[in-house]
Amino acid sequence: MKGKNEQRAGLLYGIGAYGMWGLVPLFWPLLEPSGAVEILAHRMVWSLGVVGIALLFLRRWAWIGELIRQPRRLGLIALAATVISVNWGLYIWSVNNGHVVEASLGYFINPLVTIAMGVLLLGERLRPVQWTAVATGFAAVLVLAIGYGQPPWISLVLAFSFATYGLVKKKVNMGGLESLAAETAVLFVPALGFLLWLGASGDATFLAGGAGHGALLAATGLVTAIPLVCFGAAAIRVPLSVLGLLQYLAPVFQFALGILYFHEEMPPERWAGFALVWVALMLLTWDALRTARRTRAEALRLAVRAAEAGAPVGTASASAPDADTPAIK
C-alpha cells in the first residue's frame, strides 16, 4: 500500500513539474517591458537565493567542498550553466516575441536530438524503430523548414542546447537541487554585474516598474526552483519510463497555449511538420515501453531460474538489466 501511495505521489509531482513548465509561457509576458536578457539575469540571481534557502533548510552543504576539489566537475558545471543560459534566454525571448509554438517544437524534438547525440558522441546503438523515429524527425524538420521559409532555428537551438545540457548533467552526476545551486552560483556574479550595470545606465526596470513588477521579477527564482523540486520528488518515486511519458506534457501545453491563447498561425505545412514529429515520438514511446516490458520479463525469468537452481535470487536479479534504464543501448 505504501508503495502504491508513493507512486501516486510521484505521479502527481511529475504532472505538477511538467505542468508548470508547460504553463510558464503565461508568466514571461507579465514581466514586460523587461527584456529577455534582464529577465534571464533576474532568474539567475533569484534562483540562487531560493535554492540557497532550500539547501540551508535541508542542511545539504557537504557537496560544496567535494565539488571545489574537483576542477573537471567545476568546468562541466560552468559548461552546463552556459548552455542552460542560452536555453533559458532564447525561450524567454521566443515567448515574448510571438514564437511559443516554435519554442514548443524544440521540446518536442529534444528526445530525438538526445538520441542522435547519443549515437554521434557516445557511440550508442539504436534499434530499427529508433532509427525510424530519428529519420521521421529529420523529415519533419525539412517540412517545417519549407513551411517557415528557413530552418526552425529557435526549435533547433532549444532542442540542441537542452540535449547538451542533459549530456553534461549526466557526466556531472549531481542531485537536481545541488546542481541548480552550483550552476546559478556560476551565473550569479555575471548576472548581478549585468543588473547593476543596467541600473547604473538607467535602463533597469526592476524599480522603475513599481513594487509589483519588482516582485514578479523576484518570483522568477520560485518559477525556476519549484518545478525542479517537484521533478526531483517524482524522479525518486516513479520509473523513468513514466517520467519519459510525462515529459511530453510541457510541450503539449506550450503548443496549445501558442495556438489557443496567443493565437499564433499554423499553416498546413506546419501542421504536417508537427504531425511527423508526433509520429516519431509515438514510435519512440512504443519502442521504449516494449523494451521495458521485455527487460522486466527477462529479469523475472532469470530470478525464477536462479530460485529453481537454489541460488540467491538477488544474484540473478543483479545481473539482469535495469527495467527503468533508458531504452537506448
Encode pLDDT of 22-51 as tens digits: 999 999 999 999 999 999 999 999 998 888
Give the count of beta carbons closer than 10 Å to the beta carbon of residue 264: 17
pLDDT of residue 298: 74
pLDDT of residue 96: 94
- With 80 as the cut, is the pLDDT of residue 215 above it? yes
Dig out the grid coordinates for 187 from the structure. 551565473
What is the rounded average pLDDT of the residues 235-249?
75
How many angstroms from the chain centroid is the CA of residue 249? 12
- With 50 as the cut, is the pLDDT of residue 70 above it? yes
Stronger pLDDT, 30 or 240, i.e. the higher one: 30
What is the rounded average pLDDT of the residues 237-260?
84
- With 80 as the cut, is the pLDDT of residue 7 above it? no
User: Which whole-number Å values give the CA distances from 171 to 62, 87, 134, in the listed order?
Assistant: 20, 19, 24
- With 60 as the cut, is the pLDDT of residue 317 above it? no
- pLDDT tier at 82, thresholds 50, 70, 90: very high
- With 90 as the cut, is the pLDDT of residue 97 above it? yes
Distance CA 159, CA 324 (A): 24
pLDDT of residue 261: 94
Stronger pLDDT, 2 or 295, i.e. the higher one: 295
How many angstroms from the chain centroid is the CA of residue 282? 19
- With 50 as the cut, is the pLDDT of residue 262 above it? yes
- With 90 as the cut, is the pLDDT of residue 192 above it? yes
- With 80 as the cut, is the pLDDT of residue 315 above it? no
Mean pLDDT of the chain: 83
* Maximum average pLDDT range among 47-56, 215-224, 282-291: 215-224
- pLDDT tier at 245, thresholds 50, 70, 90: confident
What is the rounded average pLDDT of the residues 189-208?
90
Say what percent of the chain tops pLDDT 70: 91
pLDDT of residue 310: 64
User: Which whole-number Å values give the CA distances from 13 to 22, 33, 180, 187, 294, in the listed order?
Assistant: 14, 33, 18, 28, 27
Contact 119, 126 (CB under 8 A): yes
Q: DSSP letters along 188-206, please? A: HHHHHHHHHHHHHTT---T
pLDDT of residue 323: 36
> Which of 67-71, 153-157, 299-303 is predicted least confidently?
299-303
User: Which whole-number Å values give the CA distances from 326 to 49, 134, 136, 241, in the listed order?
Assistant: 33, 16, 20, 8
Stronger pLDDT, 202 or 193, i.e. the higher one: 193
320, with CB counted inside 10 A (0-12, 13-18, 19+), is: middle
